Structure 1
Amino acid sequence: MNKKTFSLFGVAAIALVATVFSNNSYSQAAPLPAPLAPKITAVESIKKTSKTHDLRISVSVNKGTSKLPIVSTLVTANNKSCKILSGKQSCTITGVPVNTQVTIRAASRNKNGTSASSSPVRYTVGSARWSMTPSTTQPTTTSTTVVSTARAYSKFIPSSYSKDTSLPLVVLLHGYGATGAMQESYMKFESVAETNKFILVYPDGTVDSSGRRFWNATDACCDFLSDVADDVYLLSILKEMESSYSIDAKRIYFVGHSNGGFMSYRMACKYPDRIAAIASLAGASFFKATDCGAKSSVSVLQVHGTKDETILYEGGQILGTSYPGAVASASQWATFNQCTQNAATRSSKFDLEPNITGDETSVTAWTNCQNSSEVELWTMEGAAHIPTLKSTFATKIWEFFAAHPKP
């Protein structure tokens, strides 16, 4: 990777606040104590112009049983954020369009880098001040929990859930430097989960020495210093969800952006018997197919912009380690899935990026694959690493998932 590309990778990692971006055993390190999840206690609109308001958001922070001080609490509202530093109880998000319905979340991080996220609060900008009282509780369809590794993750349970009906499970993975809550704010899967009746989980990776969250996905991205077993952690989430809810084992899916896309590929490689399909936005599989070695089929959707200067559409390197391009990642999985129909580009296109004129996204498909699996590449002509996504993005990803359960 040249210096320009690596510099852009670093810039994109920091900018992922707008998007929200192992073979070793966990026994090598003790679980990290987590703080208690913060609670959003009040939201107030402060009029600035006829079209925009600022949001003053108050949060109750508790360090919990870890006895470690809370370093900071990041508050997000859709694609904007503010930070509450130690000793403070509120922060202000500026310039939010009036009448916009925002989903507000808070995530506290303690001194060892472990974090916990609040339940969301949905608020219409410009409406009356909201505060938590005995009669105004958090939505009952979402919650935050902690697995045995003491790493918090968020989950969304559709209001129609009944233990008598098994539902699909979608795991949403953030990019490098982001959090699960930021990724949900970027891709907006919760409303799709409510409408289409699936359970959504969005966990957090661990924090590296630069303070950025990451997943130990492939050899290229993005565990540069440690060797945390994130595949084991994510499998433990699957097991915990299956023990707590009625999950359809034939409809378990992973979707991720950038480093989260790399991690989705890793999970498909490691647990192809457990995962029906994955979707990767601006991620990549292993460079060497033998490092993946999937033994059974998984449907794969690769979505990638041709102007991505961070994870290059044609492939590249990160710190000297190669990753495959979008076509190569998809082709690799067409081989794993034993697809007999060569790649074919469909005539129809569609629009995923509202800032690019016309229908910029074309579809190349590998079909007639083992166990009714399929591989698709959605090429976003002219799109960058963090494209502005249309509101239909999450729905289209779900439509691909819904069409590709395990047999």
Structure 2
Amino acid sequence: VYVLGKGLLCRMKVNFVEEPDTMMNDFREIAPTFVLFAPRVWEQIAADVRAAVMDASPLKQRLYHLGMSTGLAALEKGQHSSFANMLLFRALRDRLGFTRLRSAATGGAALGPDTFKFFRAMGVPLRTLYGQTELLGAYTLHPADKVDPDTTGVPMSEDIEIRIDQPDSQGIGEILVRHPNMFLGYYKAPEASAADVKDGWMHSGDAGYFNDHKQLVVIDRIKDLAETARGERFSPQYIENKLKFSPYIAEAVVLGAGREHLAAMICIRYSIISKWAEKNRIAFTTYSDLASRNEVYALLQKEVETVNAHLPAAQRIARFLLLYKELDADDGELTRTRKVRRSVINEKYADIIDGIYGGKPAIPVDTVIRFQDGTTQRIRTTLRVVDLGGHGPMAEAAE
């Protein structure tokens, strides 16, 4: 729709990257005026910037942190810092290919507020789209003068109706939508159509609410919202996005449904941590070997504790471990837009999850990984579980 249809309607030139690995170089060469990236791409760009800063000289690192802190402070006041722009952002936008951007958007999944603010402070006019294919794509967008990273904006036109179905005491319920251009139903699937469209309203399957400024806040898929054994509701995706703002974390799966406390399985960002390990003279051979190093665990523990410090007590991670492999869409663990398939994770890593909540300090793993080219590798390792001071039955079991 966006590549072919939009190009034909607006008579605009459509460019394609030469190779996936050359995307950012091609992007800089093209310097587009509009860009729509999935959250995963924005997260990767932000992580690459922070990784490059790690390799910079101490002086450049100090200048970067000064410019970024100044820019974020100005953003909190609804302003842009000329000083930060001159010191850092103008050159950074040029390096990334953002020099001609007049509009930028993200959609398809939730983008963490920290990553969102990172780009807004840089001067990237980033806004959030929200919608579904059945409803002709996106139908909400941030107003240009009221961009809130915690929301998905307001309806794009007056004929788009959005309501919250069966809201709870906090106003949270299922998002229902209808407008004149929505689909007629699924092809040759009347039962599926009847299940998702009732009385002309499309049931999105997403949980959300309207904030005080009438902007739509999307929390998570209804089926993915979870509740601890103590009756405390939480959104795994929200906490995962907080964790993934760290340049060292590629993926995270937050657990805790029906449990006393929350826990996390974390995948390291190999490209960055391998560089960090080389810089700190830490020897390693493979991804699994690197993820098992005590120094890496210490590094990641600081990142998790930083996230915990900004979360309510009931949503803090009590235990975590580093997985022996990256989560992969080809293994069914992620969707193609990099969303976690929780049912697959819960089934595939059931023994590891049971070990985490069984209070084990270490979990042995003996498994075989199959690569895209058909080759296999046997992995035998031990996953260390870090206890961050949880309380209750789980912490007692760990003792």
Same fold (TM over 0.5): no
Structure number with the higher strand fraction is 1
Compare relative contact order (CA 8 Å, sep 6+) and give the higher one, 1 or 2.
1
